[in-house]
């Protein structure tokens, strides 16, 4: 497979603080990126997406930043809430293998009361 063996990084934040989750992607030709949230026992849920012709996109309480120069993606969550606790994945539309999405290893976000 394309993912490497992984140890899931964890980010712990205080409720009400802002969270920043980072992701490095692999293919400079990838032109579409998505952030997903996965809660225990559920499938990944779409949060926000961005295309390569943009470097920033905002949603409700979330912002995605794309830096194509260093192949880096970040997800910012404002005023983090307990319900935000989950594993977050970035995904790139990996044009090297047709149109399938390749997922990052994920980051576990824990929101402290």
Partner 1 sequence: KAGVTQTPRYLIKTRGQQVTLSCSPISGHRSVSWYQQTPGQGLQFLFEYFSETQRNKGNFPGRFSGRQFSNSRSEMNVSTLELGDSALYLCASKNRENEKLFFGSGTQLSVL
Which residues are at the interface with partner 1 (CB under 8 A)?
Answer: 1-3, 5-6, 8, 31-32, 34, 36, 41-46, 49, 89, 91, 93, 97-106
Do 86 and 39 contact (CB within 8 A), yes or no? Answer: yes
Q: Pick between residue 87 and residue 111 the one whose CB is nearest to partner 1.
A: 87
Number of H helices, E strands in the chain: 0, 10
Q: How far is the CB of 99 from partner 1 (least distance, A)?
A: 6
Min CB(41)–partner 1 separation in Å:
7
């Amino acid at each position: 497979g394309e993912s490497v063996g992984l140890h899931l990084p964890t980010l712990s934040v205080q409720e009400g603080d802002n969270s920043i989750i980072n992701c490095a992607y692999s293919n400079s030709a990838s032109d579409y990126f998505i952030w997903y949230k996965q809660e225990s026992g559920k499938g990944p849920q779409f949060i926000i997406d961005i295309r390569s012709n943009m470097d920033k996109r905002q949603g409700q309480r979330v912002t995605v930043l794309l830096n194509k120069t260093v192949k880096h993606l970040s997800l910012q969550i404002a005023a983090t809430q307990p319900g935000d606790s989950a594993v977050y994945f970035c995904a790139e539309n990996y044009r090297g293998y047709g149109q399938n999405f390749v997922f990052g290893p994920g980051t576990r976000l824990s929101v402290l009361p």
